[in-house]
Structure 1
Amino acid sequence: MIERRAMNRIPINRAARLSFGGISGAHPCIVRDISALGACISTPYYIFANEFALSFDGHSGIFFCRVVWRKGTLCGVCFVLRRRSPQSANDCSNTTNVVRLGHA
């Protein structure tokens, strides 16, 4: 299989929560793998939203995500930098914004 990602992803299989605009509450998911640019997320439900917030602890460390692909209850997302208008984290036009990931 040919690897198409800009960066290799780190398998973490860690529980997290998704928050959707206009829907109250946080919804469970598993982050299967992650990189500085995106992640693969598994849920017990189909994600209809194109954008949502991903959090590992519910309060800090929130990643804003945009769905890149879907396959059943699995989806791949890219991280979005929140400013005046959403910009993909892998947009190289502004290299001052860097997402740093710590190993759990």
Structure 2
Amino acid sequence: MTQMALIVGLCLLALAQCSPYIANQARPQVLQYEMETADMPNSYKFHYDASDGSSRTEHGAILNPGTKDSALDVAGAVRWYDDKGHLYQMTYKAGKRGYRTIIKKLS
């Protein structure tokens, strides 16, 4: 397994474990899922939409591959509804400068 495939797998596993779950509601189902891996191990893209209205989009690439300065650069966005029906979005970026997020209430 390549390093990029392992990273993508771990990210998807982490998201699955962090998905909001309310005991009296059914777990959301994935309605649409797209993943582009043609350029792996150097880059990837994925997107999914779930039955609860949540979604996630992410793309990542290795900058300066094959050099001592190589680094994984990742950017994405996650959307979800809270229990009152408000829509939120978290955008994130991870790379040499660390991990940065912005969370906004959209509605």
TM-score past 0.5 threshold: no
Q: Which structure has greater helix proportion?
A: 2
Could you say which structure has the greater relative contact order, defined with CA pairs below 8 angstroms and 6 or more residues apart? 1
**TM-score between the two structures when normalised by the length of structure 2:** 0.26
- Of structures 1 and 2, the larger Rg is shown by 2
